[in-house]
Amino acid sequence: MVRIKNEREGYEGICVDIHCHCNASNYPDKGAVREIPFIVNRVLGVKESYAKIEEVAKLQLDRGMDFPAISDHGTINAGKKLREIYGGRCLVNCEYVVKASNKGHQLEILCLNIDEDLHGKLLELAKEGVEQFVTYCKDNKVPHTFAHPAWFLKSDPPVQVEMFADWIQYFDTLEINGDMQLENELIFEIAKLHNKSLSGGSDDHMAIYAGTTFTNAPNAKSLDEFLQEFNKGNIQPGGIFYKTVNSLKREIYRGVELYALREHGFKKWAWTSALATSLALPWITPWAIPTLAVPLALGFAILTIPQAMAYQEKQRLRKRTEKLIKKYFLKIESAKESEDISRQIYEIDKEMNKLLQKRNFLESEKDNIQRKYESLVERLISGHELRPPSMLERISSAIFKGWGQPKY
């Protein structure tokens, strides 16, 4: 039984959990999902989700989402069924596994409001590379977000900080994922540093947490406006941003339960076995106890393996994220120092250029004055030849020279 709590309270506008999976979701390419062992998903045939699309949609609406949404891996088949049920009042999304490097690295990009033609085109672009994929989405105004950016589908060879920084630059929107912990803290800091918008999604696989993490467009009043605001970056994540180990355990237990009940019709067999065991217990003799060792060991394994998987998964994510955070912020600090030094050098160069311009101007003015002086001297010499004064000039000079002299 899933406890329903409305996480939408206090948010204006439109709220949609844009990242949820159901039983139509396909595993990404071979070797991509490293956290799910090969023997589990390939040999036993365990799916990544056993949630029915109707369950996911109902849970989202019960938690206050304005529109139901689905975002399976590499398929929109469940989305078609969602459209049959809700018409235009739903959102069909898809999570694409996109080539990120020639070394085998892959990213997941979540695209919104997908139809058949667009889906086919995006599947082709996903094989070409992240740059081609994102460029097409931007050119064609396809709302998209970098899904759980700090969680990589393939980390062998290890993801370098420079590579991660390059990937971030392709996107205008990063996802705050309801299935992450420290990863979300990193993404919040990156978004602040690089002025990115943030979307939100629960990344629910078992119809447990759908609608607990979502994207909020405060200014939107319809689904079309929600998509427009998403492209403009006028969105914010809402709800719960962190899951604990117990949350992941619960999801794995739920997956084991649904695998048994829905995939193999296990329910009737389980009830029959439980009833037979309870009736037989009073008649069990000591020699029969060893015969119970195998079912007891099997039951113990079923109860403890999911818990161990959950714990190991979170420990691995925590270590990887802490390492990435440390490297990333060391790079940021180094970049800031380099930027400060570059800015100081730029300011000094700017002042020197001003002084050089002033010096050149003064030298130019000095040359102009020198030329004017030489021109005046030349004109003075050429216009007045040296000759002895005339008699009239000598008399005039003597007369004027005597003016003002005392008579005695």
Q: Is residue 407 part of a domain?
A: no
Split at pLDDT 50, 70, 90, the class of 43 is: very low
Which tokens go with 307?
């818990």
- Domain extent at residue 103: 14-243
Is the pLDDT at 180 greater than 80? The verdict is no
Q: List phi, psi (to 5°) of 15.
A: -125, 130
- Least reliable range by pLDDT among 16-30, 166-180, 205-219, 329-343: 329-343
Q: 59 or 192: whose pLDDT is higher?
A: 59
Largest CA distance in the chain: 167
Which letter, b or e, does each residue of 194-228 get, where b requires 16 or more Cβ atoms within 10 Å of its Cβ?
A: eebbbbbbbbbbbbbbbbbbbbbbeebeebeebbb
Split at pLDDT 50, 70, 90, the class of 325 is: low
SS (H, E, C) 139-174: HCCCCEEECCCCCCCCCCCCCCHHHHHHHHHHCCEE
Q: Is residue 119 part of a domain?
A: yes
Please check whether residues 250 and 172 belong to one and the same domain.
Answer: no
pLDDT of residue 67: 96
Which letter, b or e, does each residue of 89-109 get, where b requires 16 or more Cβ atoms within 10 Å of its Cβ?
A: ebbbbbbbbbbbbeeebbbbb
Q: 246 or 168: whose pLDDT is higher?
A: 168
Are the C-beta atoms of residues 178 and 241 closer than 8 Å to each other?
A: yes
Q: Is residue 406 part of a domain?
A: no
pLDDT of residue 408: 45
Task: Give dist(CA 202, CA 21) in Å, integer.
Answer: 10
Q: 263 or 179: whose pLDDT is higher?
A: 179
Is the pLDDT at 268 greater than 70? The verdict is no
Is the pLDDT at 73 greater than 80? The verdict is yes
27 exposure class (CB count in 10 Å sphere: 0-12, 13-18, 19+): middle
Split at pLDDT 50, 70, 90, the class of 163 is: confident
Q: What is the mean pLDDT of residues 200-210?
A: 88
Q: Which of 190, 211, 243 is the last residue of a domain?
A: 243
Is the pLDDT at 33 greater than 50? The verdict is no
Is the pLDDT at 30 greater than 50? The verdict is no
389 exposure class (CB count in 10 Å sphere: 0-12, 13-18, 19+): exposed
Please check whether residues 269 and 237 belong to one and the same domain.
Answer: no
Q: Is residue 314 part of a domain?
A: yes
Please check whether residues 46 and 153 belong to one and the same domain.
Answer: yes
Are the C-beta atoms of residues 18 and 71 closer than 8 Å to each other?
A: yes
Cα 354 versus chain centre, distance = 43
Please check whether residues 162 and 286 belong to one and the same domain.
Answer: no
Please check whether residues 350 and 260 belong to one and the same domain.
Answer: yes
Other Cβ atoms less than 10 A from the Cβ of 136: the count is 17
CATH of the domain at 172: 3.20.20.140
Note the pLDDT tens digit of each residue in 287-298: 555 555 666 666
pLDDT of residue 369: 81
Nearest Cα neighbor of 225 from 130, 296, 143 is 143
Please check whether residues 263 and 239 belong to one and the same domain.
Answer: no
Q: Is residue 392 part of a domain?
A: no
Please check whether residues 29 and 80 belong to one and the same domain.
Answer: yes
pLDDT of residue 39: 44
Q: Are strands 197-201 and 173-177 parallel, antiparallel or unpaired?
A: parallel
Task: Give dist(CA 320, CA 336) in Å, integer.
Answer: 24
Are the C-beta atoms of residues 69 and 14 closer than 8 Å to each other?
A: no
Task: Give dist(CA 75, CA 135) in Å, integer.
Answer: 21
H helix and E strand count, the chain: 13, 9
DSSP 35: T
> pTM (2 decimals)?
0.66
Are the C-beta atoms of residues 96 and 123 closer than 8 Å to each other?
A: yes
What's the mean per-residue pLDDT of the chain?
A: 77
Q: Is residue 345 part of a domain?
A: yes
Q: 155 or 116: whose pLDDT is higher?
A: 116
Q: 311 or 117: whose pLDDT is higher?
A: 117
Is the pLDDT at 249 greater than 90? The verdict is no
Are the C-beta atoms of residues 179 and 148 closer than 8 Å to each other?
A: yes
Q: Which of 201, 218, 243 is the last residue of a domain?
A: 243
Is the pLDDT at 225 greater than 60? The verdict is yes
Please check whether residues 84 and 230 belong to one and the same domain.
Answer: yes
Please check whether residues 225 and 293 belong to one and the same domain.
Answer: no
Are the C-beta atoms of residues 69 and 18 closer than 8 Å to each other?
A: yes
Task: Give dist(CA 157, CA 129) in Å, integer.
Answer: 18
Q: Which of 204, 223, 243 is the last residue of a domain?
A: 243
Please check whether residues 236 and 282 belong to one and the same domain.
Answer: no
pLDDT of residue 216: 95
Q: What is the mean pLDDT of residues 362-368?
A: 81
Q: Is residue 205 part of a domain?
A: yes
Please check whether residues 42 and 166 belong to one and the same domain.
Answer: yes
Split at pLDDT 50, 70, 90, the class of 260 is: low
Q: Is residue 401 part of a domain?
A: no
Is the pLDDT at 214 greater than 90? The verdict is yes
pLDDT of residue 158: 77
- Domains contained in the chain, number: 2
Please check whether residues 318 and 170 belong to one and the same domain.
Answer: no
Q: 92 or 368: whose pLDDT is higher?
A: 92
Are the C-beta atoms of residues 53 and 70 closer than 8 Å to each other?
A: yes
What lies within 8 Å, CB to CB, of 145 at 6+ separation is 18, 109, 110, 171, 173, 174, 175, 199
